[in-house]
Structure 1
Amino acid sequence: MVFTIRCRVVATASIISALLTVAAQAQGIKVTLLGTGNPPPVMNRFGPSTLVEAGGQKFLFDAGRGALQRLRQIGVRWQDVGGVFLTHLHSDHVIGFPDLWLTGWLVSRRDIPLQVWGPRGTKKMMSYLEQAYDYDIRIRPYGDQISPDGAVLLAEDIGEGVVYDKDGVKVTAFEVDHTPVKPAFGYRIDHAGRSVVLSGDTRISENLVRYSQGVDVLIHNVAAPETLQRAGLSPERAQSIIVHHTTAEEAGQVFSRTKPKLAVYSHIVLPSATEQDLIPPTRKTYSGPLEVGEDLMVIEVGDHVEVRRPARTSP
């Protein structure tokens, strides 16, 4: 009898511990870097895409090459993604969208419309995609017996400001400087006193600095001039890329001014950049916590910020 009571007490304690863990996670923000690369079609860094989970909701920010495969790798169903936020309409940020949308509809049996938010031109782009894939959209429900609602796109062109605020999760868009692309957005996600900023593509942006003050995690794009030289690009071509992005030394200035609990590099130009290319120049201007992002890296934002790198596979 005493043994039975002890077992029940232990079991109850385990359940309570599990519930407390779930409750704690619900109050935080979980970020998964699905893709940390840029246009070059390499296998170690897929196209730019970030999954943010907060308050039981899941959202994607950008939809670069391979985003759906990365979601599949981490066991997140497309059915459960509430919407997609686009930073801008450069091809490497949207090229994976048709795959997410249509293959996701098919394999996850999505039966609810998809919301898409992005800069001016997003709604037009989505309407053209619906036209381009009209045959597939019309025929799939018959042959594969899936809900036509899962292929519906609810697209919205947004401006700077709060663009989503529901059930304790707030998403704020702010303009960044990715000239000649106008507008290009960064996003700030707030939930239960936690905050994450995604820079999108930008050079040093005073607006980003303003929106990132006191943020828990700042995920910033970065360009490494050394990688462009190693790739054999002409000085003129290399400079044309650098001028539209932020170098590591410049990003360090942004981190020093915003003081995040953790600074993270993503959308790394070029994907071949190493920690040696990025960390030493950053340290010229910033001495705080810093991570070079990689595909499938997980960042848990709670009372503390914790980073989990993906498991290494044997060669």
Structure 2
Amino acid sequence: MARLYFTSVLLLSFLVSSAQVNTNKDSSLNGTAIKVTLLGTGTPQPLMDRFGPSTLVQAGNTVLLFDAGRGCLQRLRQLKIEYDSLDALFLTHLHSDHIVGLSDLWLTGWLITDRKTPLPVFGPAGARQMTDYLQKAYAFDMKIRVEDDNVAIEGGQLVTTDIKEGIVYEKNGVKVIAFLVDHYPVIPAFGYRIEYAGHAVVLSGDTRYSANLIRFAKGTDLLVHEVVIAPGTLKVTDPKYHILAHHTTPEQACRVFKAVQPKLAVYDHIVRLYGHSPDEIIKLTQLNYSGPFVVGEDLMNFSVGDTVTIKRWGEK
């Protein structure tokens, strides 16, 4: 029944997008206002089918990356999106699974594309210190690359801004708004709202049930929200209970979905404790929410316009 519901949501509620991203910066995006691609939907677990948390957002000519989890550069290469086409990187928080791919993205990306300008990075307090230290840690490599590989030093720089809640990026009609979420004890942690051409996408980042997220997500077309699935009998004394306590259960996510009423809700950063499957997430969601939703997969993309359409990797 869960699989039947999942299929019905895809077939009846949405049109299937017909084109992959073929260029670094596609100004039309096939008539779509915003295109969102889940590069990695995983967690700290080193899984081959779910890479580390990272999301690509394309709006007009603007190419934005949110978080840089494990394997994000490889996922971008699969999409033929090069490092020198990125306009900015936004970090939700500084947990390692959201930033561990940054060094590869930055250094390898700079080397193979010979980017000419620094990459703007936006993140919570501590982000600037982190990238300053990373550039010191890799100073030897950066010097050799400039001298031996003849790449532009400016392209190997990260220019980071520690942000607070509010508008953090506004250029070419694209607005990015950061809002605080509840990922205690990780403070601060942010979600992001991206607006362009009268449409909006919201990325929750890592969070428990958050009333502030609901406030900022109202009116969004697409809501990408994290989720944790665990046994209902999990006790406070269980060594993994703290993981459950830091994230959002399907039942709690449904409360968010009902309050926000997005055109489409998408589960991302899928935390599975003790082997619980995505099918169980679907089952619990359909019991508590009647709107359209989907469990995200790596390289699944969403075209946001008057409607929201879904395409899995490899679909024509």
Does the aligned pair in 1 maintain the 2:32–2:303 contact within 8 Å? no
Matched, 1:268 2:246: no
Cα separation, partners in 2 of 1:75 and 1:95, compared to 1, 3 Å: same
Cα distance, 1:138 vs. partner? 1.1
Does the aligned pair in 2 maintain the 1:186–1:208 contact within 8 Å? yes
Q: Distance in 2 between matches of 1:307 and 1:37?
A: 19
Cα separation, partners in 2 of 1:182 and 1:269, compared to 1, 3 Å: same
Deviations for 1:47-91, whole angstroms, at most 9, x for unmatched residues? 000000002110100000000000001110111001100000000
Q: Distance in 2 between matches of 1:251 and 1:154?
A: 35
Alignment correspondent of 2:250: 248
Matched, 1:309 2:306: no
Matched, 1:166 2:171: yes
Aligned Cα root-mean-square deviation (Å): 2.0
Q: Distance in 1 between matches of 2:87 and 2:149?
A: 23
Matched, 1:210 2:215: yes
Q: 2:141 aligns with which of 117, 136, 145?
A: 136
How many residue pairs are counted as aligned between the two chains?
289
Q: 1:54 aligns with which of 54, 59, 63?
A: 59
Amino acid at match of 1:141: V
4+ runs deviating over 2 angstroms = 21-27, 226-229, 270-275
Deviations for 1:183-203, whole angstroms, at most 9, x for unmatched residues? 000000000011000000000
Q: 1:198 aligns with which of 186, 196, 203?
A: 203
TM (norm. structure 2) is 0.87
Q: Secondary structure at the match of 2:44?
A: coil
Q: Distance in 2 between matches of 1:64 and 1:37?
A: 9
Give unpaired runs (5+ residues) of structure 2.
Answer: 1-25
Q: 2:158 aligns with which of 153, 159, 169?
A: 153
Q: 1:296 aligns with which of 294, 299, 310?
A: 299
Q: 1:285 aligns with which of 268, 284, 288?
A: 288
User: Larger deviation: 248-257 or 282-291?
Assistant: 282-291
Alignment correspondent of 2:22: none
Does the aligned pair in 1 maintain the 2:29–2:35 contact within 8 Å? no
Cα separation, partners in 2 of 1:279 and 1:119, compared to 1, 3 Å: same
Q: Distance in 1 between matches of 2:300 and 2:29?
A: 20
Does the aligned pair in 2 maintain the 1:79–1:109 contact within 8 Å? yes
Does the aligned pair in 1 maintain the 2:27–2:61 contact within 8 Å? no
Deviations for 1:235-262, whole angstroms, at most 9, x for unmatched residues? 6222110000000111011001100000
Identity %: 52
Give unpaired runs (5+ residues) of structure 1.
Answer: 1-20
Does the aligned pair in 2 maintain the 1:31–1:298 contact within 8 Å? yes
TM (norm. structure 1) is 0.88
Alignment correspondent of 2:86: 81
Q: Distance in 2 between matches of 1:90 and 1:49?
A: 13
Alignment correspondent of 1:6: none
Deviations for 1:104-129, whole angstroms, at most 9, x for unmatched residues? 00011111110000000000000110
Q: Distance in 2 between matches of 1:192 and 1:23?
A: 12
Deviations for 1:25-58, whole angstroms, at most 9, x for unmatched residues? 4650000000000001010000000000002110
